[in-house]
Amino acid sequence: MTVFYQREGSREVHSFEAKDDESIVVIVERAVGGHLKVEEVAIFEEGCETQLTDELLRDLLSTKKHPRFHFHRCRRVDASVTYNGRTLTHNVAPSTTLASVKAWADKAFRIDPAHAAEHVLQLHGTIDRPTASTHVGALTTGHLCAVMFDLVPNERIQG
Query: Residue range 10-26: average pLDDT?
Result: 87
* Cross-sheet strand order for the sheet of 119-123: 86-92, 77-83, 146-153, 119-123
What domains are there in the chain, each with its CATH number? 2-72 (3.10.20.90), 77-153 (3.10.20.90)
Radius of gyration of the chain, Cα coordinates, nearest whole angstrom: 17
CA atoms within 13 A on the CB side of 156: 7
pLDDT of residue 38: 82
pLDDT of residue 20: 77
First to last CA, the chain: 46
pTM across the whole model = 0.89
**Which segments within 25-115 are labelled E, that is strand?**
42-45, 68-72, 77-83, 86-92
For residue 50, how many C-alpha atoms fall within 13 Å in the half-sphere facing its CB? 6
Averaged pLDDT score across all residues of the chain: 91
pLDDT for 130-153, tens place per residue?
999 999 999 998 778 999 999 999
DSSP designation for 127:
S
42 close to 75: Cβ distance less than 8 angstroms: yes
